[in-house]
Structure 1
Amino acid sequence: MDRENTAVDNSPIHAITQTTTRFQFAHWQFFNDKDELHDIQAQSVTKLEPQVARLLTLLITQQGQVITKETLNKLLWPDTIVEANSLYQLLTKLRKELQDNAKNPKYIKTVPKKGYLFLPSVSPIETQEQTPLATTQNLITTSQIPSSKVKLYKSLQVLMAKKRNWALTLCAGACFSTIAFLSSAPDKIEPTQYEREDITYELGVEFNVAAHMQLDLLAYIEQFNTLKITTKAGQNQYSQTFDTRIAHPTWHPDKTKLAFWQYQNDMCILHISDEQARSLHSSSPIPCHLIRPPVWQSDNELILTISDKTGSSAYLYRIEQQQLVKIPLPQKPEESYIGAIRAWEEQVYYVIVDADHHSRLVSLDGNIHMTWPYPLWLFNFDPAKQSIISNDGSAHHNLVAKLRNGQTYPVFATSQGMFTNLSIDKNGDIFTAAETWQVNIRDQDNLPIFSSSSHDFLPVTNPLGETVFMSRRTGQCEIYLHANNQVKQLSFHKGYKYVNFLAWDPLFSKILSNRDNELVLYNREDVIVSFDSQHTSAPLQFGWLDAQNIWSSDTEFVHTFNLDGDLLRKTKFASDFLIFDTKQQLWIVLQGNKLFQSQSLANFNAQKQLVSELPSDAVHMIKNPRLINDTLYWQSTWSKTDIIWKLPLTAPHQVTKIKQEPLIWHYDIAPDGALRVAKMESVEADIKRIKPQPKKT
């Protein structure tokens, strides 16, 4: 059985880089567990981009040694093809943060035809004290120790680090460790070592795992529509296959009842079965876009998380009465409800993420029981340690745990894929689905447009054949331009803000996008301007009125701006589907399942003209409208299957499905009218157990 151990590598080559997460050089302190660069002189802190922080880590850990460009490229972008100047751009950013000059460097020296050299002496910072900015007087450096004792000093550091066992590491090369995943917990916490083992390992997709709290029962989804029930060792017991996708099984904490969801058309059905997959109950169809795992509150009640076009909401569902009651959560309009969790004293708590992407765990009385300085999306309760295990704030989505007193400790970091759900039994055994996939943009012949093993999506091509798109090539969602057979990165983003759209202007010289509530304009080189959209939530629809004016909508209000960011007009107009025809100077609007045209939104009802009446499966979860050569394209979802549609405005009753399959993220139309699709592929998902190991005496 394949196992991956999270114990610290004991080799002397890795020892210092693995156990040290904070470094001092000159008047700087670098906390690579938080991607933070502290300027002691200015008393300021900068949050570095993850890739910039990784670059600084590599340079620091090889201080005094030249690192070749090839080595840095390989370690920063493993198995990924990037632009030749990607490393140069990272170095430029890092030098800017360090106020360094490439021609007269104090920190990073370019060694011609060889690589780069980190110049200043580096000292590890002892993390026992939790002071944000340590003073240089409190630091012990190897330069202060006689050379005969340096080796002993380093050995003592390693010995202390092993005793604390803070670090979970990923070895990225044969020469040294590149990424350290560590906890910020105080010394009194001794993190448990975890060992991973495969429960399923055959080719295919197994995900959405649920472990019974008390009994030797496991449930998960296989190939999207089959419910599998096994032992916790993976021995098959029972299965049931459905005609549409199912998701998120959850065992009753004491009884052999299993709740799970089924997507059906534009609805979701909650099923309850026994341990042999025999049906005990099915709800009436519930309108939904997406759902999260149900949470058992009692034998007759579950807390359901259901998303629709307005966002996610929590509901109390009573099985016997088939009663659905919306729960009033303590959240502000600009905040997002993520999901529910059954935790301490068998009570249900709720995860809320605010406008600054900070998360909190609350009860219905409004009390805050826990907070995180980043968005939480993966979480569950560990009854053995009475902690919440969740994703961390890194791009790698490692697992960390947090106690009610605020102390944290690392759980597990994986070198492949990402964890997509968690289930934990009474022994503290963590069952999770580890998934790997790519998102490639492919043409009508199913050939990739770009050669990449990353996530490339949201492509928009202009008539010149230039494609702007999103990608996670750096670990963050960034905007790229593909032109003249070259790929150029346009955005260099920090934080968790999300991009919803991209659009070329009518002259094909500028690109409109967003970062959460901000609207951003790019040319082919860089950002031109960014400004507040003045919506209460992130704009979901957007476009150009002409070459000098743009519009955006949060589905409630439509705002128009000039290119300086001045708000020209604010119109109250509710629509889930809105696009402006710059050629005809007409709005195209969907209301219900009817498509209209109008010259004005302010006088829409008086001016609207019916274009077409669309079928139900064409309007559910409708998104991504494009108007190209008098033809309207868009996406919808039906029974969790993605559909791309086409409607010529010259023949508006010829509504056609041009693509229908699961896992489509976005689409694009080439200049010759050919369809391109960005979809998940090479999808592999297996069930893993991450098991706490007994402490060695």
Structure 2
Amino acid sequence: MESFSSEQMKYQFDDFELCLDSETLRRFGKRLNIEPQQFTLLLLLLEQRGEIVERDVIQQRVWVGRPVTDESIRAAVKKLRDLLGDDARTPKFIKTVPKQGYKWLLPVQVIRSNTATEHKPATKSLISILLALLVVVSLMMWFVQTESAVVKPTQLSVSNITELSGSEVFADYHSDTQRLVFLHRETKSSPQQIYIKDLTSNSLNRLTWDTQNYTNVYWSPDGTKLVYGAGNGIGYLHYIAEFDKLGDVIKTQTLNDKSLKNLFVIGWLKAQSGLLFAEQVKSTKQHSIYQYDLESKQLKTLSYPNVAGKGDYLARLSDDGAKLAILREVSKQKAALIIIDLKLGDEEANVMLPFAASKLVWYESTEIFLSSFNGQLAHYNLLSKKIEQDITLPANTHDVFASCGEHCLILRQHNGDFLDIKERPLQVTVEHNALFNGRIFNYAGAQDFPSYLNASADLVFAALNNKQFSIERINSHGKRFTLAEFNGANTLNALVASDDGNQLAGIISGRLFILNTQEAKTTQSLNFVTAALERVENPIWSADNRSIYVAHLKGNVPNIVKLNVFNGEREFVASGFLSFKPLDTDNAIGVDTSLTAWFLKKGEQGWQKQSKLAQLSSASPNRWRIKNNLLYFSRRVAREGEVCFVSLSSPFQDAVCEKMDDNQFRLNFDIHPKQQALLMVESLSAQSNIVRLTW
């Protein structure tokens, strides 16, 4: 009797799975490119997890005894860390033990499966087959009984819940009363108003009728109250409305509490005794989640993030009120899901997300759905402790607002055309009634980061079509070229052109890339010039178009570094600035961590602040520009965007400003090389509805 047996072995840790049989590494089920040397090193660390693996052991195993330097070993470990997304300063996976070696930190699950094939008498073969069938049937019964709340959909169905002319922009749903509350604006400049739709009777009612802008409206757990925010650009307050059984408002309450200033409501506590709040984003602080007791009027901090990013920006309670799910920006455009057991105070989960989610929704008590404005969707299973991306949202759907029952979600669907790139006269330089030969673009999918390339006024911008980002170029004759394409999960944070117009520098998820604008015949790959574990921001080209000034962040401390894009050499420039642009060898403009723009002079002690130019709203190079001794910058006043300028030679004069044509959302811009036009993002009055997604 001949027997052939083999053992399939896998190591599972965090979101990864290392398979020894196929020599593959997967994350979220997707295969990663791992080199043989990285595979062997990772396997060694996993096998000796919890113990210090000395350099001699690594040399024997990974290099098969060949002599190697300590630098080679450090380089191999760094490449493995880059692959796993680990940070040597705050390690999650691999810890460096000085003068000894390396230690694996995370728990590891070992999965073994044996397969055997034998030549046996027919009777035994029949028995084996029957036993196998019995096992299969048992497994199927077990699966049916323990099936997760979410199954992979075979067919998605989208149906409208609202169909008003204009845009529905936010919603909350109360499953017991089957009532939907949502925010709607008739045009892009109209104030957002509150509407309620009863899904049982199909009746639709408007609740507010004034000129205030209403935001963040949520049903109480019993469905008898609404909490919402409202403001007119000068002040912002929170309100609670109470309803009778017929749905009429019987009482309103204003939460006129100074402790709630600069906070926005994100939901209710389970017993309706209080509310959850998040902070309005400020660039210079860590943001937390708060609970507010309606009776005692006490505000209590629930979360204490300690990360390089802005911290906690959204949270939702589970239906039973026992757990709190939090979205946390750990670094620029990189988010994590945190789950806290409120009774025990324990952290149940802390997992990195495959994209920066903007919404989270509890699905029963074992699933959390996470979504983004770009149409990405994932769900986290509290039982398996895994994130899945097995549902692809239909085109132009995004922002999951609520669960509406088994295999049912409520979200927003747009017609896909809500932004465009616009060129119009710069009013401060072109007479108001003068003729101006402005170009009309009307490009589907046009999104953001419009920039002029050179004196001929060619331009580039970012576009989004079917969840795929692209960088587009338009020449002076209106011909359009696609320079590069990349996945929508990778968030573009900046896009700036060199002075000669031949190169672009951009930031995706904290990494700097370079793109040639002249190679328009074929789509290029992005050429990254910084490592995955580094975090840089706000690229600005040097005058010779060979180097880029970036803010290199370690923790929350920015240092300006000059990076040569041809040979990779780096030079420290200044500390404490988020953005930096030299004017000549002795003068520069710097934006500090308080977003103040300064005129700088170079002295023996380095770059020193000389005079304050303006208070900016962002350090992004797409939000401020230098043209002919003028500093242009954009800002938002109430719900309107403005572009302003101050003179570099007269810094104490007030800024001169003009409106950005009702632009409210994307304030990136550029100034024509001849200072006669403004290139900006235009908000369109497009149609959107609240829809039901079922499968």
Measure the CA separation in 1 of the matches of 2:391 and 2:508.
Answer: 31
Deviations for 1:166-220, whole angstroms, at most 9, x for unmatched residues? Answer: xxxxxxxxxxxxxxxxxxx899958697754322112111221111243243211
Deviations for 1:475-501, whole angstroms, at most 9, x for unmatched residues? Answer: 333333333543333334357443322
Measure the CA separation in 2 of the matches of 1:386 and 1:534.
Answer: 33
Deviations for 1:263-317, whole angstroms, at most 9, x for unmatched residues? Answer: 5547653322223455312244679889573343542322212222246432222
When the two structures are superposed, what TM-score results if normalisation uses the length of structure 2?
0.63
Measure the CA separation in 2 of the matches of 1:391 and 1:483.
Answer: 36
Q: CA deviation at 1:221?
A: 0.8
Aligned residue for 1:656?
A: 656
Contact 1:596 1:608 in 2 (8 A): yes
Does 1:504 pair with 2:497?
Answer: yes
Aligned residue for 1:467?
A: 459
* SS of residue in 2 equivalent to 1:443: strand
Q: CA deviation at 1:454?
A: 0.9
Aligned residue for 2:273?
A: 300
Contact 2:469 2:487 in 1 (8 A): no
Measure the CA separation in 2 of the matches of 1:522 and 1:390.
Answer: 32
Q: CA deviation at 1:471?
A: 1.8
Does 1:444 pair with 2:434?
Answer: no
* SS of residue in 2 equivalent to 1:346: coil
Aligned residue for 1:309?
A: 283
Aligned residue for 1:363?
A: 340
Measure the CA separation in 1 of the matches of 2:451 and 2:385.
Answer: 44
Does 1:351 pair with 2:324?
Answer: no
Superposition pairs of residues 15-164 of structure 1, within 5 angstroms: none
Larger-Rg structure: 2
Superposition pairs of residues 40-439 of structure 1, within 5 angstroms: 195-223=157-185, 224-233=191-200, 234-263=202-231, 265=233, 268-275=236-243, 276=248, 278-284=251-257, 293-306=266-279, 307-310=281-284, 312-329=287-304, 332-333=307-308, 336-343=311-318, 345-347=320-322, 348-352=324-328, 357=334, 359-363=336-340, 365=345, 367-369=347-349, 371=351, 374-375=354-355, 376-383=357-364, 386-391=366-371, 396-398=375-377, 402=381, 404-406=383-385, 414-424=393-403, 430-438=409-417, 439=419
Q: CA deviation at 1:239?
A: 0.8
Contact 1:218 1:231 in 2 (8 A): yes
Does 1:568 pair with 2:571?
Answer: yes
Aligned residue for 1:684?
A: 687
Q: CA deviation at 1:545?
A: 5.9
Aligned residue for 1:86?
A: none
Measure the CA separation in 2 of the matches of 1:292 and 1:468.
Answer: 38
* SS of residue in 2 equivalent to 1:404: coil
* SS of residue in 1 equivalent to 2:354: coil
Q: CA deviation at 1:444?
A: 1.4
Measure the CA separation in 2 of the matches of 1:456 and 1:188.
Answer: 33
Measure the CA separation in 2 of the matches of 1:200 and 1:241.
Answer: 19
Segment of structure 1 superposing worse, 216-225 or 476-485: 476-485
Q: CA deviation at 1:594?
A: 6.7
Change (3 A) 1:631 1:419: same
Q: CA deviation at 1:659?
A: 1.9
Measure the CA separation in 2 of the matches of 1:238 and 1:483.
Answer: 47
Deviations for 1:512-567, whole angstroms, at most 9, x for unmatched residues? Answer: 22223322233323579633389974414644365444322258423222413322
Deviations for 1:621-647, whole angstroms, at most 9, x for unmatched residues? Answer: 675111122222211123343222233
Unpaired runs of 5+ residues, structure 1, are: 1-26, 45-130, 139-162, 165-184, 693-697
Measure the CA separation in 2 of the matches of 1:191 and 1:416.
Answer: 16
Q: CA deviation at 1:470?
A: 1.6
Measure the CA separation in 2 of the matches of 1:312 and 1:37.
Answer: 33
2:325 partner amino acid: Y
Change (3 A) 1:495 1:215: closer
Measure the CA separation in 2 of the matches of 1:206 and 1:632.
Answer: 37
Q: CA deviation at 1:318?
A: 2.9
CA RMSD of aligned residues (A): 5.0
Aligned residue for 1:597?
A: 599
Contact 2:150 2:367 in 1 (8 A): no
* SS of residue in 1 equivalent to 2:320: helix
Change (3 A) 1:352 1:586: closer
Q: CA deviation at 1:226?
A: 1.0
1:235 partner amino acid: S
Measure the CA separation in 2 of the matches of 1:198 and 1:248.
Answer: 21
Contact 1:250 1:294 in 2 (8 A): yes
Measure the CA separation in 2 of the matches of 1:636 and 1:256.
Answer: 39
Measure the CA separation in 1 of the matches of 2:172 and 2:277.
Answer: 16
Percent identity over paired residues: 13
Unpaired runs of 5+ residues, structure 2, are: 1-21, 40-109, 118-139, 142-146, 186-190, 426-436
Contact 1:352 1:362 in 2 (8 A): no
Contact 2:510 2:535 in 1 (8 A): yes
Measure the CA separation in 2 of the matches of 1:537 and 1:40.
Answer: 24
Change (3 A) 1:472 1:528: closer
Deviations for 1:370-409, whole angstroms, at most 9, x for unmatched residues? Answer: 75751233321123x74323339x9743575745335788
When the two structures are superposed, what TM-score results if normalisation uses the length of structure 1?
0.63
Contact 1:370 1:404 in 2 (8 A): no
Q: CA deviation at 1:437?
A: 3.6
Measure the CA separation in 2 of the matches of 1:267 and 1:238.
Answer: 23
Aligned residue for 2:107?
A: none
Q: CA deviation at 1:568?
A: 0.9
* SS of residue in 2 equivalent to 1:532: coil
Aligned residue for 2:469?
A: 477
Q: CA deviation at 1:687?
A: 1.9
Contact 1:596 1:609 in 2 (8 A): yes
1:505 partner amino acid: S
